[in-house]
Structure 1
Amino acid sequence: MASRDRSGHAVVLGASISGLLAARVLSDAFAKVTVVDRDELPEAAVPRRCVPQGEHGHGLLAAGHAALAELFDGFPADAAGLGGVPVDIQRDILWISDGHPLRNAESGLRGLCLSRPAIEGYVRARVAALPNVEIRAQHEAVGLLSTPDQARVTGAEVLPKGGAVHRIDADLVVDATGRGNRGPTWLAMLGYDPAPEETIDANMVYVTREFRRTTGDAPHAAIVQSPWPGQPYGVVAIDVEGDRRQVTLLGCGPGITLPSEVDEFVAFAGRLPDRRVHDLISGAEPLGPPHRMRLPVSVRRRYERLTRLPEGFVSVGDAVCSFNPAYGQGMTVAAAEALALRDCLARGRRGLPRRFYARTARLLQAPWEIAVGGDLRFAHVDGVRTRKTKLINAYIGRVYRAAEHDPVVGRAFLRVANLVAAPPTLFAPAIVARVLRARRPAQAGDLRRRQPVHVPDRHPQGHADGQGALRMPAGTPGHAVHRRS
């Protein structure tokens, strides 16, 4: 939108990646954009208090990489200048799913290995440099303003640190306050019904440590060995800026704990079915303390199903849908939602919430089904397994097996996992034929034949919420989740 068309004031509640990307597109449509966040926003690319997942490994999926390149001129080169590692997602990453290493090949799927603080810091700096955007740190959103008939949100109440509550009038308010958002509470205070919710709890925990890396010491920029039913442990190693390698141990199931001390951490990696991560870190210098996380329940709020919505207010990011962070979808979905908001604004502001939530529901369907389908493969995850779910997950198991030898199948799967293609493309006749032709090799060294790792329950777990820690999706569309309304 041309600058002469800018008018009015938009307020974004939360300087998360989703909030910052929303501010970026709002800057094209509004004369002024104000972003408020309760946290202190650091100048350097370091983890911050309100983003505990920032200390864990992240990866930018292909769709997210493309979206950021569209929103910020020069993004790929800038990211490389920050020390990011550009990757072809099939050629440069080793994916091990159900014990089957996916065959490496050129795919055209562009990704980026860069730490979460570095990505967020870059986006924040680019947004802050926009002449009509102001970012206010240490300002907490505490409520919404509305017209007397409560049909339209007209701004927000904000509490600065050490100050008094004051109002910010706005033509549009965007809730980007994350998993702990109070948007449903604020809307209830204005007389609106809560959105129906779908929830699923994977009971996943992980521990991350960083190690020094040497350029060229590994053939892959990342190794992703995901858990599978019967083998509830996995590991991710990802190269990031500063000659660091972030290594995350994963555990999926109730009561699972993971070691954090260096010797136990390294030894644990050596007991996993594939030892390549262990071989990378066994002699590497550890950097800094370990970081733990227990993943919260994933929630999807179905705002598109509400019959009444206030004008002038939309929710984005985790405030609409908070994924199991282990699937690495959060940043990419946030970028896709920003583009959706831009496109909806191009059609005008009247009726924006209704159009935006309908558009968001469509773009969320694939990543939500990928995560739900993967989680439901594990017996401890509550949910009704329909016959369709079981058939799809059985087929995905065969996809993994075929992708070990057939790069065409691997590319088709990674296009879906990276939100570039819709899940039904995996069922195209040509792909199904390749999958059905594949035969599982009967080899004594087959990774699936190894016994699952068992670790003594000696390490207490912390609790925090998060988004975007990288793990290979373990399945595609599932149809059973808990529903709340």
Structure 2
Amino acid sequence: MNGPVGDRAVVVGGSISGTLAARVLSDFYREVIVVERDKVVGVRDSRRGTPHADHAHGLHAHGCMILEELFPGILDEMRRARFPMGDLGEQHWYFNGERFRAARTGLPTVTTQRPVLEDYIRGKVVARPGVTFLERTELTGLEATPCRGRVTGVRLRSAAAEAVDEFSLGADLVVDTCGRGSRTPVWLEQLGYERPPEDRMAIGLAYVTRLYRSPKSLNGAQFLTCLASRTNPRGAVFGRAGDDTYYLSLTGILGDHPPVDPDGYLEFCRSLPTAEVYERIRGATPLTDPIAFHVPASVRRRYERLSRFPERLLVLGDAVCSLNPSYSQGMTVAAMEVMALRAHLGRGTDPSSQAFVRDVGRIINRPWFLSTTRDLQHTGGKGVRALAARLGNAYVTRLHGAAPHDSAATDALIRVAGLSDPPTTLIRPRVVLAALKRQGLRDPGCQAPQ
């Protein structure tokens, strides 16, 4: 590229999606302004805009490799800084009470608490020339040309309770990374466009998380996961947050939610098909009370299906698609979308909004299919797709049954779950052979690693 694509890009939302988008935009615009409702720079705790940040998160496999590409050497830096990191296939994966045989996949995973990871990345981005975080400021609307064909900026105001005055900020490009609460459908309607159609998968998911201090290590691993299945729909993630600090996120769906009272929380933990989770916290010192977060549905906004879309406006991350967080795909999918943005900008001109949202739609197709197909086993969905999902789930269940005995099955499952390999790799001869060795399936439904 011979010069910048434009003078100013505005990113709305300062979480992981917005921060990574700002990193990419800083290579192509003289000025990048990240508008964020909360105070975020230097903040390593959960905040109002990210109520889910206290719960288990993971940046797995493909997402880690993208992070390394955007910030060369960052994974080694994080290891030296004692971030919880390791090989995704060498963690403690449990399904129906059986632990997968470890597989050295070469795929990295980072499972530190989300606010800590965000702060670490944000610190690198805010130090880049031309990048500014405009904190405690909220978006009130979009500005556009008289014909409404191109967005020209944003309307903002202070997030202080008494603030009423708005001000305008011009931009060559506006990127919405506001997450589930994105109001882009409203702004589009105000500009004379249609709202995007939505796909929804009701899951009735609840996380309840508690932080512990425990001297018990995971013998080289940084987390253990009890995967939900049809016969055992309760799940858990127990992960290292610091040298002797661990978080435990219990999950339940469709109303079977973990209690928030300490005794009920322990009993829910004891009910898991894997005793190791309960053994890890029995006798450990609680550092926080149990805290809950509810996700009623996975939602996908189909911007790629709109026949008209204003130029110089892009949407990515959870603002487009908020997946079931049990599968830990959200941050990785956002990173993949940011790399698509980089590819569009690399052509030397402002990206075509419609072309970009179509590319984002293609990126989402695979994780959305994986996530909703697994969820169909719990929701009792009917129809042709549900039949195909049941057949696919039955086969993957064989792989789950094989994984405690065959590292090839573990490797295949982990690579697909980490979004490094497509689902078609699960039918490679070596993997099929591992599945066929397993007989007497105990569970007709399955759920792949998070």
TM bucket (normalised to shorter chain) is over 0.9
| Partner in structure 1 of residue 447 of structure 2 | 474
SS of the residue corresponding to residue 212 of structure 2 reads strand
Match of 1:155 among 153, 156, 164: 153
SS of the residue corresponding to residue 186 of structure 1 reads helix
For residues 256-405 of structure 1, what are the structure 2 equivalents within 5 Å?
256-350=256-350, 352-379=352-379, 385-405=385-405
Q: Which amino acid aligns with 2:224?
A: I
For residues 382-461 of structure 1, what are the structure 2 equivalents within 5 Å?
385-440=385-440
Q: State the distance in 2 between where 1:42 and 1:348 align.
A: 30
| Partner in structure 1 of residue 35 of structure 2 | 36
**Which segment is superposed worse, 136-145 or 209-218?**
209-218
| CA shift for structure 1 position 54 | 0.8
1:103 aligns with 2:76: no
2:197·2:302 contact (CA, 8 Å) conserved in 1?
yes
> Please, what TM-score do these two structures have when normalized by structure 1?
0.87
Highest RCO, 1 vs 2 (Cα 8 Å, sep ≥ 6): 1
| Partner in structure 2 of residue 204 of structure 1 | 205
2:417·2:448 contact (CA, 8 Å) conserved in 1?
no
| CA shift for structure 1 position 77 | 2.7
2:5·2:348 contact (CA, 8 Å) conserved in 1?
no
| Residues 217-237 of structure 1: per-residue CA shift (max 9 Å, x gap) | 645321111221132212210
Q: Which amino acid aligns with 1:410?
A: T
Q: Which amino acid aligns with 2:10?
A: V
| Partner in structure 1 of residue 136 of structure 2 | 138
> Please, what TM-score do these two structures have when normalized by structure 2?
0.93
Q: Which amino acid aligns with 1:67?
A: I
Q: Which amino acid aligns with 1:474?
A: Q
Q: Which amino acid aligns with 1:186?
A: W
| Partner in structure 2 of residue 455 of structure 1 | none
1:213·1:284 contact (CA, 8 Å) conserved in 2?
yes
| CA shift for structure 1 position 42 | 5.2
SS of the residue corresponding to residue 57 of structure 1 reads coil
1:97·1:226 contact (CA, 8 Å) conserved in 2?
yes
1:67 aligns with 2:40: no
| Residues 29-88 of structure 1: per-residue CA shift (max 9 Å, x gap) | 111111101112252411111101111111111111111111113311332344311110
| Partner in structure 2 of residue 10 of structure 1 | 9
1:201·1:382 contact (CA, 8 Å) conserved in 2?
no
| Partner in structure 2 of residue 192 of structure 1 | 193
SS of the residue corresponding to residue 210 of structure 1 reads strand
| Partner in structure 2 of residue 119 of structure 1 | 117
| CA shift for structure 1 position 248 | 1.1
Q: State the distance in 2 between where 1:421 and 1:225 align.
A: 22
SS of the residue corresponding to residue 339 of structure 2 reads helix
| Partner in structure 2 of residue 462 of structure 1 | none
The answer for unaligned runs of 5 or more in structure 1 is 449-472, 477-485
2:376·2:386 contact (CA, 8 Å) conserved in 1?
no
| Partner in structure 2 of residue 461 of structure 1 | none
2:239·2:246 contact (CA, 8 Å) conserved in 1?
yes
Identity of aligned residues (%): 38
**Which segment is superposed worse, 115-124 or 220-229?**
220-229
Q: State the distance in 2 between where 1:60 and 1:122 align.
A: 13
| Residues 133-170 of structure 1: per-residue CA shift (max 9 Å, x gap) | 11011110110000000110001001123452101100
Q: State the distance in 1 between where 2:432 and 2:380 align.
A: 30
Change (3 A) 1:263 1:82: farther
| Partner in structure 1 of residue 89 of structure 2 | 90
| Partner in structure 1 of residue 177 of structure 2 | 176
Pairwise CA RMSD of aligned residues?
2.1
1:45 aligns with 2:44: yes
| CA shift for structure 1 position 380 | 5.0
| CA shift for structure 1 position 109 | 1.1
| Residues 334-391 of structure 1: per-residue CA shift (max 9 Å, x gap) | 1111111000111243552122122212211111111101100114568875322221
| Residues 163-195 of structure 1: per-residue CA shift (max 9 Å, x gap) | 521011001000111101100100111111122
Change (3 A) 1:334 1:377: same
Q: Which amino acid aligns with 2:248?
A: V
The answer for unaligned runs of 5 or more in structure 2 is none
Q: State the distance in 2 between where 1:291 and 1:40 align.
A: 22
Q: State the distance in 2 between where 1:222 and 1:352 align.
A: 41
2:408·2:430 contact (CA, 8 Å) conserved in 1?
no
| CA shift for structure 1 position 306 | 1.4
Change (3 A) 1:57 1:143: same
Q: State the distance in 1 between where 2:350 and 2:108 align.
A: 37
